[in-house]
């Protein structure tokens, strides 16, 4: 699985810029992400700050490693 080039803190910062009034098109140009990627982030991480996102990603990573270890 490909690793994101954006850290959880960076995603939270991008979402806060949108809440502050920046358009999706401007965010897409500034950060080089598609509008669909932005809306995926928004649906998954709305209302979370950087620390919460980092914790969520750690939990997902732990689950992935447990699943990989179980498969023969």
What does the DSSP assignment read for 3-62?
PPSS-HHHHHHHHHHHHTT--HHHHHHHHT--HHHHHHHHHHHTT--HHHHHHHHHHHHH
Instruction: Tell me if the pTM is above 0.85.
Output: no
Largest alpha-carbon pair distance within the chain?
Answer: 50
Averaged pLDDT for residues 25-46: 91
Q: Write down the pLDDT at residue 46.
A: 74
Residue 12 has pLDDT above 70, yes or no: yes
Q: Write down the pLDDT at residue 72.
A: 59
Contact 7, 55 (CB under 8 A): no
The position carrying tokens 């080039």 is: 5
């Amino acid at each position: 699985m490909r690793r994101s080039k954006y850290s959880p803190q960076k995603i939270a910062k991008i979402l806060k810029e949108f809440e502050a009034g920046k358009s999706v098109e401007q965010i897409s140009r500034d950060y080089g992400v598609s509008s669909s990627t932005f809306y995926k982030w928004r649906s998954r991480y709305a209302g979370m700050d950087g620390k919460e996102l980092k914790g969520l990603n750690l939990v997902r990573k732990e689950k992935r490693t447990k699943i990989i270890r179980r498969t023969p």
